[in-house]
Structures are given as C-alpha cells and as structure tokens.
Amino acid sequence: MNRSVLLTRSIPTQTHGRVLVEDAADSLSGRLLVAFHGYGESAYAALDAARRIPGVPERWRVLAIQALHRFYTRDQRQVIASWMTRQDRDDAIADNIAYVDAAIESELDRAPAQTIAFVGFSQGVAMAYRAAMLGRHPAQAIVALAADIPPEIKQAGGVRKPWPRVLIGVGAKEEYYSPGKLSEDTAFLASHHVTHEICRFEGGHEWTDEFLGAAGRWLASL
C-alpha cells in the first residue's frame, strides 16, 4: 500500500512585536541599553530590571524588547513570552535578529545613540549575544546574567564584528548555568581576547542587588 508523504515547510510571514522605551530622567540620552527578558517574562520585566541597575535611570535610554512568541500565564492574567524553542531553530534565530535590528533601527531613527549596550537575563542572554554579534548595530558592552553563550555564536566563522566587553553574572545557587558551561564560556572569550569579567554572587537564577551593582559599574565605565 502506498503511503502519503508528509512534508514540513517553514513559511516566512510578517508579525508584530512589542517594545518599551524609557528615556533617561534628565534628557534623551545618547546611551541606549537594549534589554532582553527571560523565558515566561515580558518586556516589562526587562524594563524593571534595567531600572534597578544603578545609573541607568539617570544616564541611559532603555529599549526593552519583548519576544515574539506570546502566551498567557496559567491564571490567564498576564501575557508573557518566549524567544524560541528548538523547533525550526535556525529560522527563529534569523527572525529574532531581524526583529531586534528593526526595533533598534526604529529607536535610532527617533534619536541617535553613540553608545549601545545589550543586557539579557536567562533566555534573553542568548539574544543579547546574538544582537551584539550577529545584528547590524555595534555594541560596546554585553551584560549576561544566568545563561551561556549560544552555540551558533561560538561556531560562527562568519562573525567578524569586534567583540564588546562582556560581564557575566552567576549565582552560587544557580540551577541552569552550570560551572561547566561557565568554564566553556570564559575559555571561549579568553581565546578570542575578549575583555570580560565574572560576577559571582549569593543567590540563584535571579537579579540580586550585588549583581545590579556590578552591572551598574560595568556600564558606567563605558
């Protein structure tokens, strides 16, 4: 008996994403901090974290980008989002990079920025690295809390952009970013002569005051 053939195709389409913009307290800052939330969070979580970094509310314009794949919390009260899954992974990465580039371009059309930094938490860390190294806009710094460098960045022979400075945060009770992954990341950065620093702090998979302070100092040095 003949069997039908099942084909899987990936179809490009247009969609819309949500971004939040908050200007510095005193002026439209020439410093742009692009913030990426973690899995099951929203752009509001990324904005809230950025606001808590010392010096950011006064000196930085914040662009908090929400992932394209939205869903409801279990109680149906909030909309949260995910950056991607393993399904059609390469297509999702390309879509996300194009989306982030467009979001940044839209903001730069409103007002130029002389300094751009990317900050990511958890699943958003991969997006911070991708935006900095695969996106169109050069970065001066990456702040990466509680997740590793994505494999396509390590494997991409086509990455020709200069690396920005990288601050990595990892808690003593971190559940997902293992010591092995941290060692792999630091070895990779060292082999590529990337200026980087590790902030180890008490706590788990979370923003803590200790790391917020380290992130503030890192950004203030730009």
Residues of the chain short of pLDDT 70, as ranges, are 1, 157-160
Whether 103 is in a domain gets the answer yes
Whether 117 is in a domain gets the answer yes
Whether 57 is in a domain gets the answer yes
Count of the separate structural domains present in the chain: 1
- Using DSSP's 3-state secondary structure scheme, residue 201 falls into strand
**Tens digit of each residue's pLDDT (9 = 90 or more) over 113-156:** 999 999 999 999 999 999 999 999 999 999 999 999 999 999 87
Distance CA 208, CA 108 (A): 31
Whether 164 is in a domain gets the answer yes
Whether 7 is in a domain gets the answer no
CATH at residue 155? 3.40.50.1820
Whether 1 is in a domain gets the answer no
Q: Which domain holds residue 102?
A: 19-220
pTM of the model: 0.95
Answer whether 159's CB lies under 8 Å from 187's CB. no
Q: For 162, what's the count of Cα atoms within 13 Å in the CB-facing half-sphere?
A: 7
Q: From start to end of 83-140, where are the E strands?
A: 115-121
